[in-house]
Amino acid sequence: MSELNLILLGPPGAGKGTQAERLRDDFGIPHISTGDILRGQVAEGTELGRQAKRYMDAGELVPDDVIIDMITERIAEGDARDGFLLDGFPRNRQQAEALNEALGSLDRRLTSVLLIDVPDDDVVRRLAGRRVCVKNPSHIYHVDFDPPKHEGVCDQDGARLIQRDDDKEDTIRRRLEVYHSQTEPLIGYYDDAGLLRRFDGRRSPDEVHAHIRATVATLRLEETL
């Protein structure tokens, strides 16, 4: 079976997490989130985890070389033998080039980069409209797409609904600025390498999933020919 080594790209709020979970189930490859890796290594007290914790405790970003070493270890594990789906990394060209070197050291290469494209105004509308239950944060609503029966009140337990700080418009706009300045240049980088596939993130999650799944299935078939 050919490998499926994939990267998910897209702005915050594009639905990458939702699609990653579905693709993981579709193709039996692990969804590798850099945040999850960091938390896991720190919790386990590994050498890399201890290195990362020193930076995190000091309020500094964990250096790229530490993150790359963590990712290299992770994709060398048995469950990633047939492929992986990277989410949240790389965030810039320097990280992308470091990832290519790490994959080369394992005699592996990327299959494709999946871009879920959503305009800024749609991202803001999606995220700024979210409301979360103060009693149970897993109870999530949207003022336009999935409103509660009574405004500001959770349907399931009657608790108050709030807008999280990171869902406020000014915060979202700042996150988008960072995405455009640092991560968006990767679109051209991977397009030039012939790896980029674009998907319209304005469509429903089911439609986006169907389009990505069909594309990835075709890529896997082409790899076997």
Per residue in 203-213, pLDDT (tens digit) is: 999 999 999 99
Residue 130 domain-assigned (yes or no): no
Torsion of CA 45, 60, 11, 16, to 10 degrees: 10
Query: CA 2 to CA 184: how far, in whole Å?
Result: 29
How many residues comprise the chain?
Answer: 225
| Domain contains 148 | no
pLDDT level of residue 57 (50, 70, 90 thresholds): confident
pLDDT, mean of residues 124-147: 94
- pLDDT computed for residue 53 by the predictor: 87
Q: Indicate the pLDDT class of residue 38, thresholds 50, 70 and 90.
A: confident
122-148: average pLDDT = 94
Is the pLDDT reported for residue 1 higher than 90?
no
Dihedral sign computed on CA atoms, order 203, 206, 207, 210: positive
Structure pTM? 0.87
Q: Could you tell me if residue 125 is inside a domain?
A: no
- Cα gap 218→186, rounded to integer Å: 23
Which ranges of the chain does DSSP label H, i.e. alpha helix? 16-27, 34-44, 47-57, 64-75, 93-105, 120-128, 169-178, 185-192, 205-224
Residue 133 lies in a domain: no
User: Mean pLDDT of all residues in the chain?
Assistant: 92
Tell me, rounded to whole angstroms, the distance of Cα 189 from its chain centroid. Answer: 18
Tokens read off for 2: 């050919």
Q: Which residues are catalytic?
A: 16, 91, 130, 164, 175
Number of domains in the chain: 1
Q: pLDDT band for position 121 (50/70/90)?
A: very high
CATH number at residue 204: 3.40.50.300
pLDDT of residue 58: 80
Compare 58 and 216 and report the one with higher pLDDT.
216
Residue 207 inside a domain? The answer is yes
The whole-number pLDDT of residue 225 equals 60
Residues 152-163 have a mean pLDDT of: 96
Residue at 126 is within a domain:
no
Mean pLDDT (whole number) for 28-32:
93
pLDDT at position 83 is: 93
Range of the domain at 218: 4-119+173-224
Q: Tell me, yes or no, whether 58 lies in a domain.
A: yes
pLDDT bracket for residue 62 (50, 70, 90): confident
Please report whether residue 18 resides in a domain: yes
